[in-house]
Chains A and B, each alone.
Chain A
Amino acid sequence: MATPSTDKAETSPTFYLVEESGHHHAASGGSTLLGFWIYLMSDALIFATLFATYGVLSTSYAGGPGPGELFELPLVALNTAFLLFSSITYGMAMIDMEAGNQRATQIWLAITGLLGAAFIGVELYEFTSLIHEGATPQTSAFLSAFFTLVGTHGLHVTFGLIWLVVMLVQVGQRGLNADNRRRLVCLGMFWHLLDVVWIGVFTFVYLLGVLR
């Protein structure tokens, strides 16, 4: 009776160890990336509900100003360009990370961070000028939905920027090790997904708003 149990105890950890290390080696945090992707999809659902809310309330001006009077498309175009350029610079950081060029990776990440900060700066400028014009979130359901949707996206970009600064410090201290590579791939997916959400924002909120 004792013999089979010790036998089992000896063989099963070995089996699990082999499988775990093999899996880790093959995918380099593969399950982490899939898990992070599923988190991103849940984040996309948050944005879907906010888009739906905005869609329902986008004509409820309550006598306040409408999108045609409020939105400045040149500013939105500038912001869109910042975010689009930050996506390609992050892509370049990924390429250099794969090639093992730590210095180039850091430079591309820093450029990405500056572009992201410029995006947030322009967005804050837009929000403050809207509020100075009296278009506050309290003015109408349209503006409540607008500030919630665009503000949630801006908050995501802000947290992405914090994460990016943390990663710059991590890469600076520990180099491009397996953990930092995995984290950078996750941050990259996060960053690119925010760009995808922004496509929805500039199309459905700004461009269609001005057309209305």
Chain B
Amino acid sequence: MSAHDTPHDDHPHDDGHSHGTRRGYLIGFALSAVLTALPFWLVMSGAIANAQTTAAIVVALAFIQIVVHTIFFLHINTKSEGGWTLMALIFTIVIVAIVISGSLWIMFHLNSNMMMPMNPASAPPAP
């Protein structure tokens, strides 16, 4: 099955975009099926009583699955397009991390300073 990677007579792909192999897609699919089923099972069955621990595991599995998809489905590696796709990806990850963590950080502190309840359950009962 791994030998299915057909020779490209008309357009060599040495430094171009890689399209992957059947084996690569199947490995990626198997990994992501497990990485999807596991968090759904954890949350739906409530296998771990502590919600915080479950949340941490679910988030960790999501990050692993994103890496799996990037490698096996999007075929991003150090060689594709002479490394520029990876560069663009790293730049984007940095910006995404700044935007999301910065927003959450600032708004959380803003909420605290405004003495707003973060969660309606802890709000004082309405008169």
List residues of A whose CB falls within 8 A of some B CB.
25-28, 30, 33-34, 37-38, 41, 44-45, 48-49, 51-53, 55-56, 59, 61, 63, 73-74, 76-77, 80-81, 84, 87-88, 91-92, 94-95, 97-100, 178, 185, 189, 192-193, 195-196, 199-200, 202-204, 207-208, 210-212
A-B contact pairs, 30 of them (CB 8 A): A25-B11, A27-B15, A30-B16, A33-B17, A44-B92, A49-B99, A52-B100, A52-B102, A56-B107, A59-B120, A81-B36, A84-B29, A87-B32, A87-B73, A91-B22, A91-B28, A91-B73, A92-B22, A94-B20, A95-B21, A98-B19, A185-B17, A192-B73, A199-B62, A199-B66, A199-B69, A203-B59, A204-B62, A208-B55, A211-B51
Residues of chain B within 8 A of A92, CB atoms compared: 22, 25
Residues of chain B within 8 A of A178, CB atoms compared: 11
A195–B81 touching, CB < 8 Å: no
Given known A-B contacts A27-B17, A41-B89, A196-B69, A210 and B43 have beta carbons under 8 A apart: yes
Residues of chain B within 8 A of A95, CB atoms compared: 4, 19-22, 25
Bound together, the chains give a CA A134 to CA B96 distance in angstroms of 33
Bound together, the chains give a CA A189 to CA B15 distance in angstroms of 17
A185–B96 touching, CB < 8 Å: no
Residues of chain A within 8 A of B32, CB atoms compared: 84, 87
Residues of chain A within 8 A of B81, CB atoms compared: 30, 33-34, 37
Given known A-B contacts A33-B17, A196-B74, A45 and B104 have beta carbons under 8 A apart: no
B69–A45 touching, CB < 8 Å: no
Indicate which residue in B22, B84, B102, B119 contacts A34 across the interface (CB closer than 8 Å): B84
| A195–chain B nearest beta-carbon distance, Å | 6
Interface of B is mostly: helix
Bound together, the chains give a CA A195 to CA B70 distance in angstroms of 10
A200–B88 touching, CB < 8 Å: no
A41–B92 touching, CB < 8 Å: yes
Indicate which residue in B12, B28, B58, B103 contacts A26 across the interface (CB closer than 8 Å): B12
List residues of B whose CB falls within 8 A of some A CB.
4-6, 8, 11-12, 15-17, 19-22, 25-26, 28-29, 32-33, 36, 39-40, 43-44, 51, 54-55, 58-59, 61-62, 65-66, 69-70, 73-74, 81, 84-85, 88-89, 91-92, 95-96, 99-100, 102-104, 107, 118-120
B19–A56 touching, CB < 8 Å: no
Indicate which residue in B17, B28, B29, B120 contacts A63 across the interface (CB closer than 8 Å): B120
Given known A-B contacts A45-B95, A63-B120, A30 and B36 have beta carbons under 8 A apart: no
Bound together, the chains give a CA A100 to CA B84 distance in angstroms of 28
Residues of chain A within 8 A of B102, CB atoms compared: 52
Residues of chain A within 8 A of B28, CB atoms compared: 88, 91
Bound together, the chains give a CA A28 to CA B89 distance in angstroms of 22
